[in-house]
Structure 1
Amino acid sequence: MHMSPNQTSAEPVLSVRDLTTSFLVDRAWKPVVNGISFDVLPGETLAIVGESGSGKSVTSLSIMRLLAKGTSRIEGEVFLNGRNLLALSDPEMRQVRGRDMAMIFQEPMTSLNPIFTVGKQLVEALTCHGQMSASQARDEAVRLMTKVRIPNPTARLEEYPHQFSGGMRQRVMIAMALASRPKLLIADEPTTALDVTIQGQILDLIKTLQEEEGMSVLFITHDMGVVAEIADRVIVMYRGEAVESGSTEAIFHHGKHPYTRALLSAVPRLGSMTGQELPQRFPLVDIRTGEAEQARPVTVDVDRAAPPILSVKNLVTRFPIRNGFLGRPTGAVHAVEDVTFDLYQGETLALVGESGCGKSTTGRSITRLVEPNRGNITINGVDMRALGKSALRRQRRDIQMIFQDPFASLNPRMTVGAAIAEPYLEHKLGTQAQAKEKVADLLERVGLSPDMMSRFPHEFSGGQRQRICIARALALDPKIIVADESVSALDVSIKAQVCNLLMDLQESLKLSYLFISHDMAVVERISHRVAVMHLGEIVEIGPRASVFDNPQHPYTRKLMNAVPVPDPSRRGVRRNLDADELKSPVRPVGYEPQRGSYREVSTGHWVRQE
């Protein structure tokens, strides 16, 4: 791997040479990272990019020496400020961790101890390495929480991790990582599990802290939009090897390796659909040949003069909060408040918003997986709320759901063939032989081969498992599919492939989608119309082009400003997003909100009056 010219001018903070990490599998050593070498200079951000299984996280865990001893083997050299970390004893390594280099992980809730207050955990991080008294550590903990922009830090020190939102928990993890002023911060997918606005805040925060502290950052991610915004240099990893490295500009504008180009082609770019009426497939690059597909539009004739296939009127869903010995209701979560929309045959309506805005509850209320409090839901003219149990089961053939986590949606003890056939057989739509034929056809439709039907879910990758869930949803020939964050847990190129698959199926089967997502860039490519949800209400709804080209509601604009743009020229940009947490939808017993009024900005484009 070549070193860039500027790397000789300063001593690197971190220098990795021929790092090879292997795991013991079936009594043989299987290399997962193959001879990777790189430097991180003082104050520099180096991004390691790749998909799940490329070896990027194993690289960071090898540098930190956090892998299990008996089943892993690390070879090569890792120098931090001139010391070879792989030659240190365990006690010496413990001193280095946290003091000289620190790490933040993808899921902050698993990194924090739920039984201790946030303050206690921060104080422990400070007293562990330094010679601080408890009262000095407490003052420093308040200073660190202020530094990572946590509002009201003194009071929040006494709170527990579950009382913080995901974004605020990640801020606490960053505060802990900064406790001993490390020279190197390793950030392993620190924003993947977060909403887009919170992600924007965390990226701004890391940039600002880096400037203030002069820290080097090793940033591990699969999101090329994030890379463009934060990294000075990039290493692209594929199957355990570094296939390309260079400055961020060089990688984005002149990427040579087909895998680099494939990764970039799969990144949804906000604004790329300007002037396009119909949803467009992602123009993916073939990794083997480097050839790019054409971005083709989805040609389904949506007839808005015909009655809608799904009509939702004044939908309200609330969850009571019970406290005390008798479990009396003390309040309610107003998850969905007065939501109204129509969905037509062959159309994709996207419901967008952050976690807690009520979009998933809306999807579950429509299918009556959650019972709404009031409102009308009609599918093909049938009133869903008036149906008894057996009639509801029959009606659910027309509306199916695909969930976010494909592994949790599949029974690990069932073959995928049995899982896909189950709804078909349960509804008595045919014989075992017909079910087998149906499964073979469905597996082919979703880009898998029929001979995979005898395998179990753990034998498939995340993207393949999501395809299996799509096949199962199609087993009953539904008219409507509610896709609840169905691509948000997938790697960027797999996400693009699954989106293309959904669009192909819509074209061939005239499916209607209620596409629930927080990813504005994906929504822009896949949807005909967009509804933006905030605190249980739709604040803006209209044709996709109209909403994206002319966003009227402040919350819609906030969502769009937060989307990472895969353009290296924006690397210095700060979004200055507020560090406020999403307001709570909890209300006292008997609270009834005022009905919102809407104004029509252009044909079919409605905005809630604030």
Structure 2
Amino acid sequence: MRRGGDMTQPILSLRGLTTAFKTEDGWKEVIRDITFDVQPGETVAIVGESGSGKSVTSLSIMGLLDSRARVSGQVLLDGRDLLALSEAEMRSVRGNEIAMIFQEPMTSLNPVFTVGRQIAELLIRHGKVARDQVRAEVLRLMDRVRIPNAAARMEEYPHQFSGGMRQRVMIAMALAARPRLLIADEPTTALDVTIQGQILDLIKEIQEEQGMAVLFITHDMGVVAEIADRTVVMYRGDHVETGATADLFTDARHPYTRALLAAVPRLGQMRGQDWPLRFPSVDMDSGVITPQPAVVDSVDRSATPVLSVKNLVTRFGSGSDLLGRPTGKVHAVEDVSFDLWQGETLSLVGESGCGKSTTGRSILRLVQPEAGEVRLDGFDVLTASGGDLRRMRRSGQMIFQDPFSSLNPRMTVGQTVIEPIVTHKLADRAGARVKAAELLRQVGLDGSMMDRYPHEFSGGQRQRIAIARVLGLNPKVIVADESVSALDVSIKAQVCNLLMGLQERLKIAYLFISHDMAVVERVSHRVAVMYLGEIVEIGPREAIFADPQHPYTRRLIEAVPIPDPARRGLRRGGEIDELKSPVRPLGFQPPQRQWREVSDRHFVMAS
């Protein structure tokens, strides 16, 4: 936030910053003529989709690009041009005057050293405290970023921390030398919504205490609205618009800024809407916004559910004694029951570790449940074997979060889509190729792309390929496991519209697993909220979002960043803790749960 006093001298000024990378075809500019200032105590956000140049801008400022990069222009820190400094001089700037937090802390922390030692190393290197005071300062920093039980946890290793706690360690390290400027590069993107809110609150709080300037890089317009004084919009390497955040949200001038804002799903937009609503079609180049119709509802709940799950339990061994026997069990899925009808979308929501993905995998028997009953399109999933299991897997398919890791890089797109059709003997190879071309057209790709490989496609296109492969088996149920979480906002909207259109036409049922509450509100008929392996609330989408009953459901919804600059300065004041462990000792018997029906088909677990 801005402080009083002289604001005429920026702490950071970029003047014509241009970065190019050396390729086989010569030098290719990836950011061009970037110019803006960051004042003392101010938060400036750089926004844009993947490939816009946000992260390259931050790495250029820090001098962290390798020899293949050529950086020109000026990066002025208090009037001193960082591009003119030697590497030795830049090492004294990094950490002391400018600190940086990266998106994925696990790749930034050394796995072989304790977190306490890594924070201490920074303090010693920058000479901020005497050696006999280092431990006390490490504890102060860990307490400052509100890591519970810091005295014990400083002796633990990064893998023993959750994602949110690892990000707190990174913030502690960034603050060690009390820098004047903090660059935060997508620091909350990989975090659950509740943890994201805590980290945003923490950064704002520390910024106010220390008068620190923040350059915040993100693609999340909700985060921008809550944290930024001013916003810089980047598009394909160009700086296309800058302004006060409130002005940009109410009176954006550039077509891309308007398109970016229009593509963002906003919690509460679905109030009063009975059925899922397609995202508006947004042309990111022209900014033209075309509203799309709601999904035509055809769910017949008087029919037999296409998927019925009763008292599903999935547990995994944990720990081991001297003989290698497990000492406990992870209660990943505990007594989960629900039905899913043809043409319906049921969303499973909750934080990482709550059991969402394990539930989806258990239903398709990609992991082996311990107990319960699953009936999918007439098949008893948990007892099926041989031919029945193969036929069952035609009825139930899964779309994974990362299409690049689920597509074989050595197979062409055509081969990828053809393979399951031939394996399940739905057509011969020639017929399968014709069908594959048609499937690619159904998901908005050209059949002529069949001979290309996955690396030749964008993330959104790869997800369309994964959907085409699944559709080849004519499934009745698709488990979509965080299938749009890694996509840019405009691509996310396109893929969600594609899924809803396919559902309307083919009557597919979706189990939509996600932590993105705004997307869930848009695409769902019903929502089930999971916590520590259990469903704690389930009901129609409108009931869950308009009248949440369980404290955890309310906490999830309240933590969602909303793209409204009026919320800037908001403090959630939520409890700072990690999701409790689902590990239980051997022989542990979970308590019998009681359910209360709040309204029609809206159930909540009694506390």
- TM-score of the alignment, normalized to the shorter chain, above 0.5: yes
Q: What corresponds to 1:306 in structure 2?
A: 303
Deviation at 1:136, TM superposition (A): 1.1
Deviation at 1:8, TM superposition (A): 9.2
Alignment match of 2:584 (pick from 581, 584, 587): 587
Residues 20-79 of structure 1 show CA distances to partners (whole Å, capped at 9, x for unaligned) of 00000105000000111000000000000011111110000000000002x100000001
Amino acid at match of 1:358: G
Contact 1:262 1:284 in 2 (8 A): no
Alignment match of 2:259 (pick from 250, 258, 262): 262
Matches within 5 A, 1:273-422: 273-422=270-419
**SS of aligned partner of 2:50:** coil
- How many residues of Structure 1 are paired with residues of Structure 2 in the alignment? 605
**Range with bigger deviation, 484-493 or 162-171:** 484-493
Q: What is the rounded CA distance, in whole Å, between the counterparts of 2:235 and 2:257 in structure 1?
A: 9
Q: What is the rounded CA distance, in whole Å, between the counterparts of 2:242 and 2:94 in structure 1?
A: 27
Q: What corresponds to 1:54 in structure 2?
A: 52
Q: What is the rounded CA distance, in whole Å, between the counterparts of 2:28 and 2:330 in structure 1?
A: 50
Contact 2:333 2:534 in 1 (8 A): yes
Q: What is the rounded CA distance, in whole Å, between the counterparts of 2:281 and 2:209 in structure 1?
A: 40
Amino acid at match of 1:430: A
Q: What corresponds to 1:473 in structure 2?
A: 470
Q: What is the rounded CA distance, in whole Å, between the counterparts of 1:178 and 1:312 in structure 2?
A: 49
Alignment match of 1:601 (pick from 576, 598, 602): 598
Deviation at 1:415, TM superposition (A): 0.6
Q: What is the rounded CA distance, in whole Å, between the counterparts of 1:176 and 1:533 in structure 2?
A: 33
Residues 530-573 of structure 1 show CA distances to partners (whole Å, capped at 9, x for unaligned) of 00000000000000001111000000000001000000010011
Q: What is the rounded CA distance, in whole Å, between the counterparts of 1:240 and 1:437 in structure 2?
A: 39
Deviation at 1:310, TM superposition (A): 0.2
Q: What corresponds to 2:18 in structure 1?
A: 20
Amino acid at match of 2:309: V
Q: What is the rounded CA distance, in whole Å, between the counterparts of 1:389 and 1:119 in structure 2?
A: 53
Deviation at 1:7, TM superposition (A): 12
Alignment match of 1:36 (pick from 34, 37, 61): 34
Contact 2:139 2:150 in 1 (8 A): yes
Amino acid at match of 2:234: M
**SS of aligned partner of 2:289:** coil
Residues 270-303 of structure 1 show CA distances to partners (whole Å, capped at 9, x for unaligned) of 1110000000011132123322111411113100
Deviation at 1:107, TM superposition (A): 0.2
Amino acid at match of 1:47: A
Q: What corresponds to 1:495 in structure 2?
A: 492
Amino acid at match of 1:382: F
Residues 109-152 of structure 1 show CA distances to partners (whole Å, capped at 9, x for unaligned) of 00000100000000001111125333312111111111111111
Deviation at 1:81, TM superposition (A): 1.4
Residue 288 and residue 100 in structure 1: after superposition, are their counterparts in 2 closer, same or farther (change >3 A)? closer
Q: What corresponds to 2:543 in structure 1?
A: 546
Amino acid at match of 1:604: R
Alignment match of 2:243 (pick from 246, 257, 263): 246
Q: What is the rounded CA distance, in whole Å, between the counterparts of 2:133 and 2:390 in structure 1?
A: 62
Q: Does 1:485 align with 2:482?
A: yes
Alignment match of 2:230 (pick from 219, 233, 240): 233
Deviation at 1:357, TM superposition (A): 0.3
**Range with bigger deviation, 417-426 or 335-344:** 417-426
Contact 2:282 2:490 in 1 (8 A): no
**SS of aligned partner of 2:575:** coil
Contact 2:19 2:72 in 1 (8 A): yes
Contact 1:312 1:339 in 2 (8 A): yes
Q: Does 1:569 align with 2:577?
A: no
Contact 2:75 2:82 in 1 (8 A): yes
Contact 1:300 1:510 in 2 (8 A): no
Matches within 5 A, 1:122-271: 122-271=119-268
Q: What corresponds to 1:3 in structure 2?
A: none
**SS of aligned partner of 2:200:** helix
Q: What is the rounded CA distance, in whole Å, between the counterparts of 1:415 and 1:520 in structure 2?
A: 35
Q: Does 1:432 align with 2:425?
A: no
Flag as ranges the 4+ runs of structure 1 deviating above 6 A: none
Deviation at 1:9, TM superposition (A): 4.2
Contact 2:260 2:284 in 1 (8 A): no
Deviation at 1:383, TM superposition (A): 0.9
Residues 351-378 of structure 1 show CA distances to partners (whole Å, capped at 9, x for unaligned) of 0000000010000000000000000000
Amino acid at match of 1:501: L
Contact 1:228 1:568 in 2 (8 A): yes
Amino acid at match of 1:549: A
**SS of aligned partner of 1:229:** helix
Contact 2:256 2:286 in 1 (8 A): no
Alignment match of 1:448 (pick from 439, 445, 448): 445
- TM-score when normalising by structure 1: 0.98
Contact 2:101 2:185 in 1 (8 A): yes
Deviation at 1:322, TM superposition (A): 4.2
Q: What is the rounded CA distance, in whole Å, between the counterparts of 1:381 and 1:433 in structure 2?
A: 31
Deviation at 1:154, TM superposition (A): 1.0
**SS of aligned partner of 1:386:** coil
CA-based RMSD: 1.3
Q: What is the rounded CA distance, in whole Å, between the counterparts of 1:251 and 1:144 in structure 2?
A: 36
Contact 1:7 1:41 in 2 (8 A): no
Unaligned runs of 5+ in 2: none
Contact 2:7 2:39 in 1 (8 A): no
